[in-house]
Amino acid sequence: MTKEAVCARIKEFGIIPALRLRSAEDAMFAAEAVWSAGIPIVEVTMTIPGAVKVIHDLVRQNSEIIVGAGTPLDIDTAARCLDAGASFLTSTAFEPEMVNFANKKSVVVIPGACSPTEVYTAWKAGADFVNVFPCSAMGGSGYIRALKGPFPQIPMIASGGVNQQTASDFILAGADALGIGRDLIHHDAVKRREKGWIQELARRYVRMVNHSRQDLREIA
């Protein structure tokens, strides 16, 4: 899938489920659960044991799912993730070298940023989206709205504190997508292998994003 196609899919679905789990088996289970509920995107964080192999296995087992690498801390790790089949690189921090690497490889890159200066710097460096983190600590949806005032052209992903109570507010504030971890993929649901629990949450978030976007179209 091309870089442009991956960006389009992220914008279309508006949700990046982040897998931050204790084992490769847990990650595979959770990824299948969110995909089967209608979200064909997952971020495999590097804190998962054997994360690169998880990316490889997900890509080989399901060609319809877009798999990203979450917070690779160096270029070597990022390269191994891309070799395994990752379609995007994302992080909670801004590392210029990582952005340059992704751009040279024509891969979607989503660096993290917090302050207005960081958001703008990441965008100017070549980010496809800017991962605004941690949103909840910075004032929630109001912070996204404040950033979109001077930077309406910068696609932003809200992450850090996005849950069922705040998801719609972040979309209405101007977020292009939501990064959601344990509030979508609850550790107890994974531990008990309760696929339906994760699927129901995934469907709720999809409805929230779609309804909020419809509200924005009506306002416009």
Q: Classify 70 in phi/psi space as left (phi over 0), alpha (psi -120 to 50) or beta.
A: beta
| Closest to 199 (Cα-Cα) out of 29, 6, 68, 57 | 29
**pLDDT, position 219:** 85
What is the residue range of 168's domain? 3-219
CATH (domain of 32): 3.20.20.70
pLDDT score of 136 more than 90? no
**pLDDT, position 74:** 94
- Token pair of 16 as six digits: 């990046």
| Closest to 72 (Cα-Cα) out of 105, 40, 112, 24 | 112
For 55-76, the three-class secondary structure string (H helix, E strand, C coil) is HHHHHHHCCCCEEEEECCCCHH
Sign, Cα dihedral of 132, 184, 205, 67: positive
Strands (E), the chain: 15-19, 41-45, 66-70, 88-90, 108-110, 112-113, 130-132, 156-159, 177-180
d(CA 179, CA 112): 11
d(CA 181, CA 163): 9
3-state secondary structure of 17: strand
The tally of domains found in the chain comes to 1
d(CA 68, CA 201): 21
pLDDT score of 215 more than 80? yes
Asked if 44 and 51 touch (Cβ cutoff 8 Å), the reply is yes
d(CA 66, CA 64): 7
Predicted model pTM: 0.96
Helix (H) or strand (E) holding 42: strand 41-45
Q: What are phi and psi of 2, to 5 degrees?
A: -70, 165
- Token pair of 66 as six digits: 């877009």
Tens of pLDDT, residue by residue over 143-193, are 999 999 999 999 999 999 999 999 999 999 999 999 999 999 999 999 999
Asked if 202 and 14 touch (Cβ cutoff 8 Å), the reply is no
**pLDDT, position 1:** 85
d(CA 210, CA 163): 15
pLDDT score of 220 more than 90? no
